Chains A and B, each alone.
Chain A
Amino acid sequence: MTLPILRRLALVALLAMPVAAEAHRSWLLPSATILSGDDPWVTVDAAVSNDLFYFEHFPMPLDGLTIMAPDGSAAQAENQARGRYRSTFDVRLNAPGTWRIAVAGESMFASWRQNGQQRRWRGTREAFAREVPAGAEALRVTLGQRRVEFFATRGAPTDRVLQPLNEGLEMVPITHPNDLVAAEPAQFRLLLDGKPAAGVEVSVVPGGNRYRDQLGEMKLRTAEDGSFAVNWTGPGMYWLNASVRDANSGLPNVQRNASYVATLEVLP
């Protein structure tokens, strides 16, 4: 590996504490979330970056892309492409109502010592058993579950796609995510495996921070029932993020890190 030492140290830290310690932000940025007309399309940038919402680091892999149509059925993305700094795809909203567009999935992270060397590994659940020696020295394993998503509505909002999936960390709207305006606080609920995620820190960052001196991050904490309220600082695109670390990976001696990201559009 030819990474500079600092990068290498950062990488070690990142893999030892996957996702949570990751400074980079994952996001989907839709061209619009509220649409009218008979044949509206949404085009989406998908990236991993530092600043929001600028593509300056890495294109988000679209392996886990799922599009849920208003009736709950799965739809296909069109025009997928991967550039140097961003991936893109289009969604044709061929039915009225609210759509849910997400990149979701899981990976396993492992680190251990072998012959005095630090080893790191990342891969699928299936490959894990094959490639990571069981009982290795100082073995640490984490299952990373993530969901990065946004909602878009053609015509009047509907709530079929807002039903919880009951897997990992997710946001269930109380205020409809395509009915957000700057002057009105919005309420959401955070669920972990379908149950209220209480006392979890939620970070909300308005986009456009390249042209601001301060990040403008709002840190909120979920209540007993998982709910939290956001007072928008103005109209725009917002990045909402939360993560939970626990032992509920479903695998022995494997920690779990569940993370959630939503991009929300707030109108004037």
Chain B
Amino acid sequence: MRIAFPLALIGLAAAPLAAKAAPEVTVTVEIPRLSVAEYHRPYVAIWVERPDQQAVANLAVWYDMALRNNEGEKWLKDMRQWWRRTGRSLQMPLDGVSGATRAPGRHALRVDGAALSGLAPGQYNLVVEAAREVGGRELLRVPFQWPPAAEQSGTAQGSHELGAVSLQIKP
């Protein structure tokens, strides 16, 4: 990235939406149960990028929001791709995006279609990145088409920090 990189990523997701019913978007993220001596729930970021990896919408950032003095924000940069693509130019917490870390298991995230209504028609990736304290990092991508012409679904399978990630879109 050049020094004159585009900082205005968030604005893109906030473009005015058409009055029609927004498509229904559901992201399911599986956080694996790990047998390790010291377990901490992973930080997870879920966002949408263009094929050139430019972030266009933040859907969720799960991190430790309960620590005093916002100490949990110290580790946000460990979600490296997310941090580089969008996180570092955001002011946390983000309304409707920030949330607490999740326990192992399957978590469904219903995305307000309005969050994506500003996207130009085309190909996008759903990106899920997990980083765990004293653990590893993993990033998965699920491609999709926007706006959806028909029902779409896609999945990706993690191997260490993430389990299955799936995306369902109903027009």
Interface residues of A (CB under 8 A from B): 34-40, 153, 155-157, 159, 162, 173-176, 179, 181, 184, 267-268
Q: How far is the CA of A156 from the CA of B70 in the complex (A)?
A: 18
Q: Which of B77-112 contact A (CB under 8 A)?
A: 77, 80, 83-84, 87-89
Q: How far is the CA of A193 from the CA of B87 in the complex (A)?
A: 37
Question: A155-B89, A157-B88 given as contacts; is B83 within 8 A of A34 (CB)?
Answer: yes
Establish whether residues A156 and B75, one from each chain, have CB atoms under 8 Å apart when the complex forms: no
B74 at the interface (CB under 8 A from A): yes
Chain B residues with Cβ under 8 A from A174's Cβ?
2-3
B31 at the interface (CB under 8 A from A): no
A182 to chain B, nearest CB (A): 11
Chain B residues with Cβ under 8 A from A179's Cβ?
1, 5, 84
B69 at the interface (CB under 8 A from A): yes
B7 at the interface (CB under 8 A from A): yes
Q: How far is the CA of A95 from the CA of B15 in the complex (A)?
A: 31
Chain B residues with Cβ under 8 A from A38's Cβ?
69-70, 73
Interface residues of B (CB under 8 A from A): 1-3, 5, 7, 69-71, 73-77, 80, 83-84, 87-89
Establish whether residues A36 and B7, one from each chain, have CB atoms under 8 Å apart when the complex forms: no
B123 to chain A, nearest CB (A): 21
Q: How far is the CA of A36 from the CA of B69 in the complex (A)?
A: 13
Establish whether residues A36 and B74, one from each chain, have CB atoms under 8 Å apart when the complex forms: yes
Which residue of chain B has the shortest Cβ distance to A180 in the bound complex? B1
Q: How far is the CA of A1 from the CA of B7 in the complex (A)?
A: 59
Q: How far is the CA of A8 from the CA of B166 in the complex (A)?
A: 68
Task: Show 30 residue pairs from A and B whose CB-CB distance is below 8 angstroms, ordered by the A residue.
Answer: A36-B75, A36-B76, A36-B77, A36-B83, A37-B70, A37-B73, A37-B74, A37-B76, A38-B70, A38-B73, A39-B69, A39-B74, A40-B74, A153-B88, A155-B88, A155-B89, A156-B89, A157-B5, A159-B3, A162-B3, A173-B3, A174-B2, A175-B2, A176-B2, A176-B3, A179-B1, A181-B84, A184-B1, A267-B80, A267-B84
Chain A residues with Cβ under 8 A from B2's Cβ?
174-176
Establish whether residues A175 and B77, one from each chain, have CB atoms under 8 Å apart when the complex forms: no
B8 to chain A, nearest CB (A): 11
Establish whether residues B74 and A176, one from each chain, have CB atoms under 8 Å apart when the complex forms: no
Q: How far is the CA of A184 from the CA of B2 in the complex (A)?
A: 11
Chain B residues with Cβ under 8 A from A173's Cβ?
3
Q: How far is the CA of A156 from the CA of B4 in the complex (A)?
A: 12
Chain B residues with Cβ under 8 A from A39's Cβ?
69, 74
Which residue of chain B has the shortest Cβ distance to A158 in the bound complex? B3
Q: How far is the CA of A157 from the CA of B83 in the complex (A)?
A: 11
A200 to chain B, nearest CB (A): 22
Partner of B73 from A36, A153, A159, A181 at Cβ < 8 Å: A36
Establish whether residues A37 and B83, one from each chain, have CB atoms under 8 Å apart when the complex forms: no
Which residue of chain B has the shortest Cβ distance to A32 in the bound complex? B77
Which residue of chain B has the shortest Cβ distance to A154 in the bound complex? B88
Chain B residues with Cβ under 8 A from A184's Cβ?
1
Which residue of chain A has the shortest Cβ distance to B1 in the bound complex? A179
6 closest A-B pairs by CB: A37-B74, A36-B77, A156-B89, A36-B76, A37-B73, A156-B88
Chain A residues with Cβ under 8 A from B83's Cβ?
34, 36
Q: Which of A36, A174, A179 has the most CB of B within 10 A?
A: A36
Which residue of chain B has the shortest Cβ distance to A235 in the bound complex? B80
Question: A176-B1, A176-B3 given as contacts; is B69 within 8 A of A35 (CB)?
Answer: no
Q: How far is the CA of A268 from the CA of B69 in the complex (A)?
A: 29
Chain B residues with Cβ under 8 A from A157's Cβ?
3, 5, 88
Chain B residues with Cβ under 8 A from A34's Cβ?
77, 83, 88
Q: How far is the CA of A34 from the CA of B89 in the complex (A)?
A: 13
